[in-house]
Amino acid sequence: MSARRSTQNRHRRLVEQVTSYIAGHLDEPLDLASLGRIAELSPHHFQRVFKQVLGESPKQYVRRLRLERSTFLLRQPGVSVIDVAFDSGYESHEAFTRAFHDRFGVPPRRYQTQADGVRRETTDPFEIVSLERTRLASVPFVGPYDSGFEAFARLADWAAPLGLLELQNMIGASTGTIKPSRTKQRREAKPRSLSTKGCR
């Protein structure tokens, strides 16, 4: 393995360690210095490595996760917008409303009102099962749900030569949606069938 590839893998592991910490501590202060200490890097170096791996700064990442979580909180009965604002790390209702609107295109109160009347969509029958501990390969994607095909295509390009495209090995995939990017099927696939994160 080349020194460059080794460094990239090390950086990726460090970022995964930090994102796991962030996911479990969204209610706590998550400043650059404290996150850098988790990765054992200086704040400046950590920010550069984090953005290189995920394509967004630690601050942008934390802000996005908190805003995405706020959409769930706003759907809970009896929850006020101001409570969700504080839970999402904002010091005022106004700042939260601006950030929410910038991210989702509607103010949080309107989203909350609309969510109250949203029809629950039906799904195909499914069952919840416990799987043995296993290794996964994933290609993260940040963006609209129907724009995530490239993540699956990149994953398929890697997995196909290894014979890993059997459907039973895929998480977040529908029958017929995962094909290597060089095939005709890639052009014919329907983006709405895909998740925003591909895993094997």
**Any idea what the CATH number is for the domain that residue 108 is in?**
1.10.10.60
Give the DSSP letter of residue 191. G
State mean pLDDT over 35-50: 94
pLDDT for 170: 62
> Does residue 171 form part of some domain?
yes
Check pLDDT > 70 for residue 122: no
> Does residue 125 form part of some domain?
no
Do 43 and 64 have their domain in common? Answer: no
User: pLDDT, tens digit, for every residue of 73-116?
Assistant: 999 888 999 999 999 989 899 999 999 999 989 999 999 888 76
pLDDT for 35: 95
When comparing pLDDT for 177 and 41, which is higher?
A: 41
| Count of domains forming the chain | 3
Residue 144 near residue 174 (C-beta atoms within 8 A) = no
Residue 43 near residue 36 (C-beta atoms within 8 A) = yes
Check pLDDT > 90 for residue 130: no
Mean pLDDT computed over every residue of the chain: 78
Q: Which domain, by its residues, includes 154?
A: 138-199
Do 11 and 44 have their domain in common? Answer: yes
Check pLDDT > 80 for residue 126: no
| 182 — pLDDT class (breaks 50, 70, 90) | very low
pTM of the model: 0.64
| C-alpha pair distances (Å), 49 with each of 4, 55, 143, 177 | 13, 10, 21, 32
Element (H, E) at 95: helix 93-104
| C-alpha pair distances (Å), 53 with each of 16, 41, 125, 200 | 10, 15, 37, 19
Do 3 and 41 have their domain in common? Answer: yes
State mean pLDDT over 1-16: 84
> Does residue 168 form part of some domain?
yes
Do 26 and 76 have their domain in common? Answer: no
Complete DSSP assignment for 127-177: -----------EEE--S-GGG-HHHHHHHHHHHGGGT---GGG-BS--TT-
Do 148 and 169 have their domain in common? Answer: yes
pLDDT for 173: 47
